[in-house]
Each structure stands twice: as C-alpha cells, then as structure tokens.
Structure 1
Amino acid sequence: MEKPAGYSKARMEKIAQEYQEVAKEINKDRKNSLSSQTIMFNLSESFSNPKRVPGVKIKGNPIPYILSLKKTTTSGLMMSSGYGGGTANMEYMTLTGLATANFSSTMSTPYTQLVARLIHEWSFNQDFRYAVASHPYEGIFYSRISAYRKFGFNRFYYLGSKYKIIDQKKIGYNPYLSDETAYDNALHQLRNDENGTFINLVTMQNHLPYNSSYYNRSSSWLPTSVSAGTDKSTVAAYTAGINYTDKAVKQFIKQINKIQKPITVVFYGDHLPGIYNNSMAKDGTKLHETDYFIYSNTYAREHGARTLTSNTKVVSPNDFMAMVAEQTNSKVTPYLALMTKIYEDLPAVSINTGQNNSTASLQFTNGKGQVVKYSQLTKKQKRLWQDYKLVQYDLTAGKQYLYQLHMMK
C-alpha cells in the first residue's frame, strides 16, 4: 500500500486519541457488549438477485423469502469488489474492515499475500470470547487454514478437518454441499456454543459452474430475455440454485428464532456469478451489487437489538462490523468507532466497477447507487477518508503503532 501523506507515530497517536473520544461518545448510548452476543457472518456464494441485471427478465420470484425479510430488517445492497470471483477478498473486508481498493493492484488476495507476513493481524472475531469458521468444502483455498489461525479462530470446520462437517447433503447433480448443509452445521454450533461466539460461515452451493443438468427443475427459471451473448440455460441453473438458498435461509431463520440467546446474522452475497455478458463499462455498478440483510433473532430483539434505518441502502463489506455493533446496541472500541464513522459518513467504497476484478482504483457509491467522485466529498469526508487510509497503512504496511496505542481493543 502506498504510504499516505503525513504518516508518523505522532499522527497515529493523535488518531488513536481522537477515536478513543469518539468511542466514549458512542458508548454513552450503548448497553450491550459484543462479547455477550452471538454473531454470524454468512457469506452466501455468488448470491445476488438476477432480476436486477440489465437485460435479464425472469418470470416469477426466485427469492421470495429473502426479499420479504429484507423489507422488515436491516438490508440493502452491498458493493462488491469482485465479479465472478474474489470471495476471499470480500471475506477479508468483512473481518478486518479494510478496503482492498486501497491496496496496490498487485495485492490480488490479502489472505495469501498479506496476512501471513504481519506480526499482528486484527480481525473482528477477536472482540468475542470464541470464534468458529465453517466452510462445507476444502479448506486450503486462499490459505484459509493459516489465515483463520492468524486471525485467532478457535475452530475451522471444512471437509477433511478434525472438526467434521455433519449432515452432508447435495441437491440433484450439483457436486457441492448444499446451503441446507451449511446452515445445519451453523445451527449445531449456535445451539451448543455459549454467548460471545463469532461464526464465519462461507457457503459453496452456488459456486460456478452453473450446469443446466444440476437441478431437475432449472428450466422453470429460464429467462424470457438476457443481454446479448448471455446463455439462458446458465442463468436458469444459477437462478434455480438461489431458489434453493431462499428455502434454506427461511428454515434457518425459523430455527434461530427458537434459540434462547441473542443471535444476529449478517447475510451477504460476495459477488455476482460471472455469467452475464453485459458491458462492464456500461453496467459495471449493477454487476457489483449483491444482496445483504442483518437479522437479529427474537431473543436478541427482546434484549435491545434494533433494525437500522439510516445509511443502509448501499454499503461496503467493511461496514458490517460497525452495523452489527449498532444493531445489537453494543459498545465499540476506538477502531470500531472509526469504522462507525466510515459507515455513517462516507459513501460505500469498492474497486472501480467499470473494470473487472481490478484493484487499480477505488470508487465511492452513494445510497442511490450513483458513483461519487472523490472531489465531490466534503472537507469533513476527505479528512475521515485520510484517517482511514492512515489506519489501514499502519495496520498492514506501516509500523503497527495502533496496537501499542490500544486503538484495536
């Protein structure tokens, strides 16, 4: 990462002091602690409503439950920095709060290129008593095994691990384990782990390829129209898959509402499937919008959790940790205070969506889905963005002063 102007120990001391005061102010109105909550981040592989893609028309609604749920809880669109790939980068942003768009274009995957070499590596799970990761597939991809170990996860469930993936099910001829399997394993953890647990669940069901022979009824989702060069049968197979996801999510939410402890779930699609032949220059922003919602179960709502209504329409993956702290009415550290200001006061940040999977330049997107130039930001917003870049540089490429200055805890 390029060194931001003004980086020094003195400047980082000033930033740490400032956000310690911001945290104190935020915490005056917060009653809970994250360590008393059970939080699950659920990365849903390639999940995004195909009906938002320009040129795609499908009869019926493949995700009725999720769209209905989005109307009654914190929800909106997430600006992904990937298209057809980049899963681990979205995961990295949700867990660390750091934007990959700030890194050099040579930093293609922070999990493999950055995390292992750092002396200290902060991630959101460290604010909890216990942390579990679960992925119903092989664990070696993107160096997840070593990355999760560095982050401080206590357990990582994957195929072949000493922690077993139970209740393994597949749908039709899809070679990947189903989302039902992913949620059954998550429910097992939620029921057995004590409060103060963080779970990072990464699904696999809707990973490419999207074969028309996977599901018996995929032809029922055949689009009536698509953009030129887009294959209708591929879109139909993908759509059938997310219809199964919708059903699995419905059953999962039903089950967590029966559990007598505060559980909040952040559900988000990591990127769109790379099946649309649309022009990235013309439709790039739409091709980087995925669906998300943040849902607190009945018990959590009865004990202070609330639905957020401001700044939720378009967000970044790095916003989720601040959002979940606010939704659960939980106190924040100085670092989460900075992330709260980023979430509240800045447009969503991503890579330039006019390009495909490039980290060469960043983009701001406002709540209306419109691209905002850096020059259009206010003086206050530019100062906040500079603070953020300085913090990211210090944590990843600089001297890591902020650990000594107690900003992370």
Structure 2
Amino acid sequence: MKNIRNNLIIFFLVALISTVDIFNTGNGFVQLALVLLASIVIFNMSAVKFKHKRLIFTILFIANVAVLALTFTQRIYLLNMLCLSYVVWSIITPKLHRFKLLFPITFLLSFISVYAAALLDFSLPIFIISFYPVYVFGSMLDGKNIIKSKKIWSFAFLNLAISALGLAIFLFKSLGRSIIDSALLLNFVKLGSVTAVYLPFITLFIIWFVISANTIFRMLISRFINGSSAFDLTDYIKPVIDLISFFAVTGITTFICEFSIRRDFKETVKDVLDPNLLFNMLVLCGIYLCLMALIGKGIPKIIIGILTIFLTVANYIKFTYFDEPFYPWDLYLVRNLIGISREYLNIPIIIGVVAAIAFLVFLVIRFRKAIGKYLKPRFTLFLLPFAAALFLLNSVILTNTPLSVQLGIQKSWYIGKDEIMANGMFAQNYFYLTELDKYLNPKPQGYNENKMAEINSKYGKTGESVAASAVVSKEKPNVIVIMSESFWDITKLNDVKFSKDITEYTRKYHKGQIAAPIIGGGTANTEFEALTGMSISSLSPGIIVYNAYLRTETSSIASVFKDNGYSTTAIHPNYGWFYNRDKVYNYFGFDNFYDVDSFSLSTQCKGPYISDYALVDKIVDTLNNSNKPAFVFGVSMQNHDPYIDKYSSHDVTVESTKLDSEQKNIVGNFAQGIYDADQSFGKLIQELGKINKPTLVYFFGDHAPRLGSLNDYYKVYDLLGTDDRSAQNQGLEKLKYYTTPFAAWSNYKDIDSFSEIVSPSHLAYKILKDTGIKYPNYFNILSELEKSFPVLHQQTINTVDNNNDLIKDYRLIQYDLLFGKKYLY
C-alpha cells in the first residue's frame, strides 16, 4: 500500500506539471515554477517502486527515446524527460552509491554540463544530467530517518537561506535576458555566452535550494515516516563548506580585484555580477579548480591570495600616480616605483610593515605543523576532468571574438582604464599575457653607460648641446606645429573631381611628404615620432606608445624648447584622457595642455567635433598671451571619421563615375574637412603676418583616413587608385597610402624642403635645426638617418639591415630614452 500511495502522489505531480508545461506559452516565471515543481518530483522519485522492473523499464526507455527522437527538432516535453530520467537514474544510481564523493561530483557535473551546453554549438537536452544531484540526494534519504539536533537544524536552514539568496540575486541579474525560459534545460540549443555564464549559477542554486527545502520538509514530517535506518546529515557539512569556500574564494577575489580598478565600493557591488565580470569569476574558478586538482586545497588559496594582494596593491599605486591599471610590462617601472615609495615612507609606516611581517612569521612558526598539514600537496584525480573542462570552456570564450563580444569583452588597440573595466581583471590580463612579447623590449646588446657616452660624443661635442648651423634671427622665434587629423591629399586619387582647390595653402607651402607609421587611426604614434625623433618601427605592431610605455619624463622637442626658455603649450580639442595625453604631455615637458574643455561644444563645432578654425583661434590667443617665445603644438579634431552624413552643408562638391552614392557622400565630407583644414592653415598664416615677431609654422597630416567602414576602408582607395609616383620611385610602394603632406611657413626665413619622403621622426630634427636653438646631441643622428634611411616603417622594416651601425646606434638611443636609464636625457 505504501508503494502504491507514493507512486500515485508522484504520478499526480508529474501529470500536473507536464500539463502546465505542454500548454505553457513561454512565461519565464511559469518556467521557473515548473523547475521547482519538477525538482520536488525528482527528489522523491526514488520512492517510486515497480514490480517486473526490467520489462517495464525496457518499455519505458524505448518509448521515451522514440518520443525524444520525434520531438527533438521541435520541443521536448517535460513528461518525456522525467520518464526518461527516472529510467536512467534508477538503474545507475544504486550502483554508484558506494562512492563517497558521488553527491559532490554530481554538483560539478551539473554546473559544467550546463555551462558547456549553453555555450557550445550543439543541441542536447541536458535535463537528465543537470538535475541528477537532486535525485541522488533524494535516493540517499529514501526510507531513512534523519538524525536531528540543533546543529542539523541550523545547518539545514543555513543551506536554505544561502541558496535562496543566491537564486534571488542571479535571477534578478538575469531578468530580461531570456535565461529563466531556459531553466528547464529542454530542447537545449546554443544560447550564447551571456546565458552560459548565468545559467550554471541559476541551476546550481535551484538544485541547492530544492535539496535544502525538501530535506527540511522531510525533517518536519519525520514522525510520519518509519525508516529502516538512520541518515546523518553532518556527513555533508564538510562538502557544503567546501562548496561555499570555493565560490567564496573566487567571488571575493574577483570583487577585490575589480574594486582595485573601479575604486568605488557601490559601483563594484553593482557591476560584479554583470556578464563580463561574472565570466571573470568563471575564469578564476577554472584556474582555482585546476590548481586544486594538481596540488590540493591549501596552496592554491595561498597562490590566489598572493595574486590578489599583488594586483590590488599594483593597481592602487598605478591609479594613484597614473590613473590607469597595472600592466605586465610595468616591470620597467620598478625602479620608479621604488623612488616614488621613498617619498611616502615614514617611521609609522615602516614600523607597521615590520610589525605585520613579524606577526606573520610568529603565526607560521607557532602553527607550523597545522599549516604544513594544510598545505601538503595532494593530487585529486576526480577533479582533473572537471577542471580541464571548465578551463577549456573559458578559453573558448576568450579566443572566440563573437562569443566574448556578447559579454562586452574584446581586445582593443586602446589599452587603459576603460578597457580593463569593460573586460575585467582576469580576461584583460589574459589578453596582455598572450601578447606579452609585443610589449616587452629586451635590452639591446652593448647597452651601458659607456656606450651611451660614446654615442653622445659621436653625434656632437661631448657634454654640450649643439646649435643648429642655420641662419637665425636676433630673437628666438615662435614655433607652431599643427598635426592635422586625417589630412591626406585626396586629390591624388584618379577619377574624382572637386569643385574647389581643397589644398590651396598646403600646396603653396608644400615642403615634402611624411610616411605616417599608421593608417586610419592611431594618431598618437605619428605624434610620438614627430615630437621625440624616435620611431615605432622597431616596436611590435599595434603598440600605442603613449598608452603602453610613457610613464616618466621623456625627452621631446617640447622639453628642448622649455630648456631654451620657451613657454610650451599643447592644444587638442578632444578629451585629455584619450591616448593618455593629459599625462604624456606633462612627461614631454609641456607647461600647459588645453583639451576639449577649453572650447565650447555649443558654438565652436563643425560637424560633431571642434572646428579647425577654433583651433587656430586658440593658437593665436596662446601666442598673444605668452610673454616668452612660445612653442605651440596643436592636434586638430574636426576631420576625424566617420564621414558619412557628417556635414549638413558643403563648400566643396565631388564628382566621380566610379563611386556609388554612399562612397561619394564619404569622400565629399572628407574633402570638406580637408578644405577647412587647409583654409584654417591659410587663416593662421594671415593672422601671424599681423604679428611683428619671427615665427615658424609646420603643418602635416597624422595619417590617411578610413574612407568607409572599419572592415573596408581601403575600398575607395582601391576603386580609384593613384598616379602618385613618389612612393614607388623611393621603393616604398607599400606606403603609397601612408604618405601625408608636409607644409611649412616662416615670416623671416626660407624653410628647406625634404627631398624624399621621410618618417615623422625627421620633423623633430628639422624643427630644432630651423629654430636655431640648442638641443641634445643625439638628435643629430636623424640627419645621418635621413641620408641612408629616410623612412623607418613597420611595413618595410624587414628591408633594413639590423647590423648597420647607424641603425644599432639609433635603437640604443631609443631604448635608453624609453626603457633604459636615460643616460642621454
């Protein structure tokens, strides 16, 4: 009678939830209710008893597999999965009960199987795997009396509270993402990485909650159950504590590391369970589980603790002094870090650190036996496949851009605070470490103080600065350098005509061409070469020097002008933090930096950006307000892409038979920007003609534009082609679209032209030489390089003889100033 009663109750519940499932129209909360009801059925399923077991089970198995096959591509009903699960579970579970770790293993199996199924590209109902822990625990309690005590009651309700809280939090965070609809894990198709990072945790807490609730219910009605044996729940205190400890270690570590980046407790609490950061926690879970499988529980906690402390302290220091995160290549800054630390060390801090270390040593000695036992390495074989699976699943997301982008995680050419906050600590450092060779620059052979002194002497008089030989005025001239955004001579393209001469002034004052180190973006690298005389050609592709390396005072023409008594000003009508300019300009020796906050976005824009005319006005105002000779470096913004529908009216119209309407729209807007840049250059010359002071003006483009989308911005170039032979004649065919115009003007002297295309680094030497000021000896190497290697470029660097003495000296100079001990500075 008892078996019949149990069977009827279970069958009634199955019929009820299956009916709701069949007629459910997709309400997520109904799905959640079905999950909880189905879990109650699963927990009590082992109480169902059949006679003639083998025959009935065979029929049930065949029938449900057939139904599964028929409904696989449409919808798999809950009734089908409950029946099939019962058949499989009731056969295999009695054979597995002898394994002590069966129950903890099923939790791991459920968690990782849900993660894999949601992520990978296959369709499979994993209900039968993911809800197995519920059946296992229910079968353990079947026909047994739970030994009750205050400790057991507390343990049971603690589990219920933790699981309910966890479930509520994850359901709240995943609302609106259609993840609740997937909680039954039926007809499971690839759902994407956002579902993959939430659904395993939701499943975990559902299972935990159902087991806890059903266990408490069994304890409450125990007087109505006459079990044949006793069940001691205290045996499961340790596995539960281990589970809580595992996720506590990974969760707290993730939180602390993200807090060290965000530096705002409320913001970190708000963000920590967003998809990107939850994935970072899963990355740490994979690493932690691998370590536990290989060396036990104790040592991994020490490793993760040290890692957390290191990253937290390193990020605190970097954000305090540089407002950016710690990078692996910041090992270059260890010497500077020690110097900074000395300024802030005092007696109380030193005493506190020594006391903390002494207390730690005391604890280690006092409890050495217990610590030794806890840290004893242990190889745990059963964890290894789970650890490997979790690690590989995380790698799939990290290496698969479409999946990682769903989480808001992706590699970027712009490294900085925004990127690491978007990607998270562990994902971003994975990207850094996998490309570490791009950022590390080994010390060149022969680098030492004596060698740098020899180079200093070789390229000038020892211990002195070298004055240019050019004719100079009686007073120091003002010097203005304008790097114009995307200024490229589009008139070089074939089969395109413009209604006006869009390069009137740059053609009139043309002094040559420069081979920008980049195309379409990465302005800061052209800027770096022009201001320092150094070259990015020997660095890894994709490096933005301002972001990756510049953290200390670095020699530039700005610092040289400052040493010669000039006021030095940088102007760029964009946000100062972009490319780290607000810090880099200070390292370069600029006295002032005016960014977009120094302009009016309501009155000084043309299109979406501050106009080139407003930049010119700011330059003239700066000159008028300086009581010293002035060096002004301006970087324009107006002609930045995108160009589609950029301006509402045009001074220039475009005709071409080879371009479609969208391409003509892009070219027309770009041409308008070139026209405005050229006219503003002319306006500056006119304004400077009114000032009775010797002045030099230099004007060049930072790179060619993206005339299209990010993926096809070469399309317009390829459609039209160019007849410009200068790059080809110089053996620089690869760089025909990299070259940008260089123009210069002076009101008191003639300015020589470059006879060939040159790298932007040669502008630094030319500006210093034309001005007639004193400058460091090493700049003179650029004069020698211009004769033998006028262009050093990453696209053609394989044609350069690395054993050439001039090249070796140049790289030693650059290493010394960027990464070395700055003997030449």
Q: Same fold (TM over 0.5)?
A: yes
Confirm whether residue 92 of structure 1 aligns to residue 528 of structure 2.
yes
Question: What does residue 295 of structure 1 align with?
Answer: 745
Per the TM alignment, residue 342 of structure 1 is displaced from its structure 2 partner at its CA by 2.6
* Contact 1:34/1:127, CA 8 A, preserved across alignment: no
Q: Is the Cα–Cα contact under 8 Å of residues 514 and 757 in structure 2 kept in the other structure?
A: yes
| Counterpart Cα distance in 2 of 1:152 and 1:15 | 24
- CA pair 22-269 structure 1, distance change in 2 beyond 3 A: farther
Counterpart-to-counterpart distance in 2, 1:22 and 1:220: 57
Q: 1:33 to 1:395 in 2, by over 3 A?
A: farther
- Please point out which of 361, 374, 391 is paired with 2:800: 374
Per the TM alignment, residue 218 of structure 1 is displaced from its structure 2 partner at its CA by 6.6
TM-score of the pair, normalised by structure 2: 0.41
Q: What corresponds to 2:556 in structure 1?
A: 123
Does residue 153 (structure 1) correspond to residue 153 (structure 2)? The answer is no
| CA RMSD between the two structures | 3.1
Pairing 1:190–2:623 present: yes
Q: 1:211 aligns to what?
A: 644
Instruction: Please tell me whether the aligned partners of residues 34 and 196 of structure 1 are also in contact (alpha carbons under 8 angstroms).
Output: no
Seen in structure 2, the aligned counterparts of structure 1 residues 395 and 333 have a Cα distance that, compared at 3 Å, is closer
Equivalence map 1:263-342=2 (5 Å): 263-275=695-707, 276-277=714-715, 278=717, 284-296=734-746, 298=747, 301=748, 305-309=749-753, 311-342=754-785
Mapping of residues 151-190 of structure 1, within 5 Å: 151-160=588-597, 168-171=603-606, 174-190=607-623
Q: Per-residue deviation at 1:168? A: 4.5
Deviation readout 1:263-286 (Å, 9 max, x if unpaired): 111101000111131469x96412
Equivalent in the alignment of 1:387: 809
Mark the structure with the bigger radius of gyration. Answer: 2
Q: Counterpart of 1:139?
A: 576
Kept in 1, the 8 Å contact 2:486–2:640? The answer is yes
User: What SS is found at the alignment partner of 2:509?
Assistant: helix
In 1, Cα distance between equivalents of 2:475 and 2:443: 34
Q: Which has the higher contact order (CA 8 A, sep 6+)?
A: 1
Task: After superposition, give the CA deviation of every residue in 1:223-248 in whole Å (9 maximum; x if it has no partner).
Answer: 3435x998222111101221122222
Q: What is the rounded CA distance, in whole Å, between the counterparts of 2:703 and 2:468 in structure 1?
A: 37
Describe the superposition over 1:33-77 as per-residue Cα deviations: whole angstroms up to 9, x where unpaired: 999232122010000111224x4522453222321222xxxx111
Structure 1 unaligned segments of length 5 or more: list them.
353-360, 364-372, 404-409
Which of 783, 789, 795 in structure 2 is aligned with 1:346? 789
Deviation at 1:105, TM superposition (A): 3.2
Secondary structure of 2:812's counterpart equals: helix
Distance in 2, Cα, partners of 1:28 & 1:138: 36
Question: How do 1:38-117 residues align onto structure 2 when only pairs under 5 Å count?
Answer: 38-53=478-493, 55=494, 57-60=496-499, 61-70=501-510, 75-105=511-541, 108-116=543-551
Aligned counterparts of 2:592 and 2:600: Cα–Cα separation in 1: 12
The two structures have a TM-score, normalised by structure 1, of 0.79
Runs (5+) with no aligned partner, structure 2:
1-440, 708-713, 722-731
The Cα of 1:397 is off from its aligned counterpart by 2.0
Residues 1:401 and 1:210: Cα distance change in structure 2 (over 3 Å): same
CA contact (8 A) 1:294 1:324 kept: no
Distance 2:638 2:546 in 1: 22
Measure the CA separation in 2 of the matches of 1:313 and 1:49. 17
Deviating more after overlay: 287-296 vs 338-347? 338-347
Q: In the superposition, relative to structure 1, how do residues 219 and 263 fare at CA in structure 2: closer, same or farther (>3 Å)?
A: closer
Q: 2:495 and 2:533 mapped to 1: Cα distance? A: 33
Tell me which amino acid in the other structure corresponds to 2:584.
Answer: A
* 4+ runs deviating over 4 angstroms: 22-26, 30-35, 163-168
Structure 1 counterpart of 2:671: 239
CA distance in 1, matches of 2:697, 2:474: 13
Q: CA deviation at 1:122?
A: 1.1
User: CA distance change for structure 1 residues 102 and 213 in 2, over 3 Å: closer, same or farther?
Assistant: closer
More strand by share: 1
**Matched residue, 1:16:** 456
1:364-406: per-residue Cα shift (whole Å, max 9, x none)?
Answer: xxxxxxxxx325x9x9xx3222211110111112232223xxx
Contact 2:554–2:588 (8 Å) recurs in 1? yes
2:509–2:744 contact (8 Å) kept in structure 1: no
- State how far apart, in whole Å, the 2-side matches of 1:97 and 1:314 are: 16
**Counterpart residue identity of residue 362, structure 1:** I
CA distance in 1, matches of 2:602, 2:768: 32
Is residue 136–residue 177 contact of structure 1 (8 Å, CA) maintained in 2?
yes
